[in-house]
Structure 1
Amino acid sequence: MVLTALRGALGFLTRVPVGRDEAAWEAFSRSPWTFPVVGYLVGGLLAVPLLLASPPASAPAPTVALAFVLAVYVVTGIGHLDGVADLGDAAVVHGDREERRRALKDSALGVGGTVALALVVLGLATAALALIEIAAAAGGSGAPLAALGIVVAAEVGAKAATATLVCVGDAPHEGLGSVLTGESSAGATLPVLALAAPAAPLAWPRLLPGLTALLAALATAALVARWARRRLGGISGDALGATNELARVAALHAGVIAWTRF
């Protein structure tokens, strides 16, 4: 069951061609602890493009930043970006919950969704540029483990943040959100956080950047949850997808700030 759940998590959270069968999906939907576990793998893959900034490649920083953004969506897909766009459109609606829910279901991309998508992509690119600066300042000829560790910690944090909402959230209507939140209870948050905690020291030799990245991701989840409950009536699938993307950006920047300022 553990391996089946992990296959399902890989199939849902990444573009890896495994875990797309019904048994894997059902095992995954009952196992929010798989989110941070997959986060370690995804974070490791996303950190690889940062190595291009060091010899022998020594690629220009903007090129590496572009490669980082591309890697994020090659590895994880663009499905969660749909949640960002939908929540962005809902956020600018002047109306009640029902009007915002209609905006979520509208397949047309509005101004709010466009701005939200642009901010997420810009956030990833600028975070990558800052990580390259950290690597150059601290590692000389080679990208230090610190910069790579921040990427992994941020991804684990983003996955743990999403899983936390799965555990404590209630969906406002039937759909992906209700399928996931209906299978887990608040008590399932404990193994999620326990599995995410080892990501904190990955930005060695400092503890604060990784820890800050994790906490920033969880804080983002709390903000999304508060907004979604007040404005939408609960945690929908779009809210879960948006949490993953927003928490990743927030965690990356928080980790960078913690490294450079403290």
Structure 2
Amino acid sequence: MPEGRLVAGARLAVTTFTVLPLRPGRVDRPAAAVAMALAPAAGALLGAALAAALLGLAAAGAPPLVAGVAVVGLAALLTRGLHLDGLADTVDALGSHRSGEAALQIMKKPDVGPFGVAALVVVLLLQAAALAALPTRGWPGTLAAVIAATAVGRLAVSWACRRGVPAARPEGLGALVAGTVPAPVLVVSTAAVALAALGAAPGRPWQGPLAVLAALAVALLLLPHLVRRFGGITGDVLGAAVELTTTVAYLGLVLGG
């Protein structure tokens, strides 16, 4: 019996955004549309696991920075490092000052250049430092913050896959998901992630939603430049969007202590 679109899309969302070993299922544009719409939900589930690990390490007496670094490493493990790889490849291509096919060829190379290494170091350090500051808020604030930051990183992917944004190549992940997410889904998802961030900064209920929306705005402002440089989105561009948006959200969430 053929797998339904919703089930196939949910399976694709989980296998794209996490390392969970689900059996292969249907992969086509209708399933991809569901998967990209469900990307923030997959991020929220991942965020809950990361928050649990962070709180567990804090309760066990781990120094804050040690706990933060460990959770950053766990996040890379649970996503197979794909988004970090996408960030490095995208920044290397941008740093080359090349456009179109020449830039895409740089993104295909298996090695990481100096621009990519610098981007990885900065992003990982910022994420670890931000995570180190969260447990002081208690478990409700920490849980809300990590879920919101992780979910908005995947929400940026949903927005990058909105209708009207082209794929850079005729094949690959970008071609499968480009232009699949309708505007009403994006509005509902954005509202849901912003609401999930309400408890992320105890005593300042506005800070969580504002941090989420600011991080998403940064990604949306950068996206047109990436489309101009590369001709559209690619899997690497989506991975870069995840890491950049998540990092900016963490920064917004920890400002002010």
What's the TM-score, normalizing by structure 1? Answer: 0.86
Cα displacement (A) at 1:113: 1.2
2-side partners of 1:25 and 1:207: how far apart? 40
Would the aligned equivalents of 1:36 and 1:160 in 2 still touch at CA under 8 Å? yes
| Structure 1 residues 227 and 233: CA distance shift in structure 2, 3 A | same
2-side partners of 1:64 and 1:104: how far apart? 32
**Equivalent of residue 234 in structure 1, options 226, 232, 249:** 232
Matched, 1:124 2:127: yes
Letter in 2 for 1:256: V
Over residues 101-137 of structure 1, what are the superposed CA-to-partner deviations in whole Å (9 max), with x where a residue is unaligned?
Answer: 22112222211111111122112111112224xx1xx
Query: Larger deviation: 95-104 or 151-160?
Result: 95-104
Cα displacement (A) at 1:34: 0.7
2-side partners of 1:5 and 1:202: how far apart? 30
Which residue number corresponds to residue 172 of structure 1? 168
Give me the CA root mean square deviation: 2.2
SS class of match (2:21) = coil
Which residue number corresponds to residue 206 of structure 1? 204
2-side partners of 1:71 and 1:250: how far apart? 19
Structure 2 unaligned regions, length at least 5: none
Which residue number corresponds to residue 158 of structure 1? 153
| Structure 1 residues 54 and 94: CA distance shift in structure 2, 3 A | closer
Q: Percent identity?
A: 32
Which residue number corresponds to residue 245 of structure 2? 247
SS class of match (1:36) = helix
Letter in 2 for 1:10: V
Query: Larger deviation: 159-168 or 190-199?
Result: 190-199
Matched, 1:13 2:17: yes
Would the aligned equivalents of 2:55 and 2:139 in 1 still touch at CA under 8 Å? no
Which residue number corresponds to residue 47 of structure 1? 51
Letter in 2 for 1:17: P
Cα displacement (A) at 1:220: 2.8
**Equivalent of residue 107 in structure 1, options 110, 113, 130:** 110
Query: Larger deviation: 194-203 or 33-42?
Result: 194-203
Return structure 1 stretches of 4+ with deviation > 6 angstroms. Answer: none
**Equivalent of residue 29 in structure 1, options 9, 28, 32:** 32
SS class of match (1:201) = coil
**Equivalent of residue 95 in structure 1, options 98, 101, 109:** 98
